[in-house]
């Protein structure tokens, strides 16, 4: 079988590094271009030493060049900041190259909302309607037909998977949803900053971005689509002193009396049906009284859910855990690329977590 040539723009950040790890052993894709302005001309393994001994080790990093990418790649991953990605995506799409954008440039359907939250006018708003939102369990058919996929943020991925079954069943109120989320430091990116230095993070725990985190409108957009009504939610992110992982605890109010067994059965049925349609099973619902941990999903596409029905407060509480770099970014991008290229959704993705 002929291997499909793909490119990666932005190879030296954490999401680029993770994509290289996954693509190094992909059975049907070959990374033929890896780009970085700052590291162009160097062997990939000199910049990412963990790739030594893989088939990517001797690859030479190049500067990003849309002509070169379009000439050699059927699909390109964009692991670059928002604002930069939109111009690259527009140029590649114009040249009939499929694109998975890991930035936020095509996640929000309303360019006015994008401008408000990102302080930047969208220069390619005409492409927003073409971009599929890359959450496979919810948008698998749209992703498979898309030329441009907007890869979701890590926080929204964890929150949306926690809420989707309950919202579809109208089990919870759409008013008063609270998403309390914690992320490892890789979520802040690889660029050096005082706030993510070891001594600033180690043995501490803090909130950040309260009330104005840029993932908020993405969540509200997709929660509103699931609920079929506009939604305002409270999103409260925190920084954990760990490398990988997101844990979101989502609080909702129930619309009717249900037992814990009924909710568990509903969640399992919802994701079993989605897995059957998608051809991949990545959401695991924990048994009653047990709770997921970030280490249970490390390095994988799994989203683990723990569910509490609290009759005393009339709340449904869902604990959702993902790996922010794999499920929350690069692994999900690869799953989307698999769907876009007609491959098995789980091709090249780790089957089991890294433990301990």
Buried b (16+ CB within 10 A) or exposed e, 118-144: beeebebbebbeebbbbbbbbbbebbb
List the chain domain ranges: 4-130, 154-327
Class of the 4-130 domain? Answer: alpha beta
* Band of residue 1 on the pLDDT scale cut at 50, 70, 90: low
| pLDDT higher than threshold 80 for residue 324 | yes
Cα distance between residue 202 and residue 300, in whole Å: 25
Tokens (6 digits) for 70: 């379009």
56, 31 in Cβ contact below 8 A?
A: yes
Cα distance between residue 301 and residue 279, in whole Å: 14
- Mean pLDDT value across the chain: 97
Q: Residue 64 has what pLDDT?
A: 97
pTM greater than the 0.95 cutoff: yes
Which option is the CATH number for 154-327: 3.30.360.10, 3.40.640.10, 3.40.50.720, 3.30.497.10?
3.30.360.10
155, 310 in Cβ contact below 8 A?
A: no
* Band of residue 345 on the pLDDT scale cut at 50, 70, 90: very high
* Active site positions, annotated: 154
End-to-end CA distance of the chain: 36
| pLDDT higher than threshold 80 for residue 110 | yes
Burial of 147 (0-12, 13-18, 19+ CB in 10 A): middle
């Amino acid at each position: 079988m002929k291997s499909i040539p793909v490119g990666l723009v932005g190879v030296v950040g954490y999401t680029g590094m993770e994509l290289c790890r996954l693509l190094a052993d992909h059975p049907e894709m070959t990374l033929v271009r890896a780009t970085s302005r700052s590291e162009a001309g160097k062997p990939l393994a000199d910049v990412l030493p963990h790739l030594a001994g893989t088939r990517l080790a001797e690859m030479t990093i190049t500067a990003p060049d849309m002509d070169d990418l379009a000439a050699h790649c059927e699909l390109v991953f964009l692991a670059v900041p928002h604002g930069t990605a939109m111009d690259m995506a527009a140029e590649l799409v114009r040249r009939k190259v499929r694109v998975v954008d890991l930035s936020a440039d095509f996640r929000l359907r309303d360019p006015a909302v994008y401008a408000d939250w990102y302080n930047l006018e969208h220069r390619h708003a005409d492409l927003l309607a073409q971009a599929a939102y890359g959450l496979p369990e919810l948008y698998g058919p749209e992703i498979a037909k898309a030329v441009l996929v907007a890869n979701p943020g890590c926080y929204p991925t964890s929150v949306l998977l926690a809420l989707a079954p309950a919202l579809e069943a109208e089990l919870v109120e759409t008013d008063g949803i609270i998403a309390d989320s914690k992320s490892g430091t890789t979520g802040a990116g690889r660029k050096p900053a005082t706030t993510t230095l070891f001594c600033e993070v180690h043995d501490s725990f803090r909130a950040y971005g309260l009330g104005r985190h840029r993932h908020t409108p993405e969540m509200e957009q997709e929660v509103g689509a699931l609920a079929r009504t506009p939604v305002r939610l409270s999103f409260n992110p925190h920084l954990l002193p760990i490398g990988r992982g997101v844990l979101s605890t989502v609080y909702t109010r129930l619309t009717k009396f249900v037992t814990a067994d009924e909710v568990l059965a509903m969640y399992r049925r919802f994701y079993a049906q989605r897995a059957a349609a998608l051809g991949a099973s990545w959401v695991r619902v924990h048994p009653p009284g047990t709770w997921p941990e970030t280490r249970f999903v490390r390095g994988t596409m799994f989203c683990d859910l723990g569910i509490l029905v609290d009759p005393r407060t009339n709340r449904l509480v869902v604990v959702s855990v993902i790996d922010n770099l794999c499920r929350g970014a690069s692994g999900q991008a690869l799953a989307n690329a698999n769907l876009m290229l007609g491959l098995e959704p789980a091709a090249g993705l780790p089957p089991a977590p890294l433990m301990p």
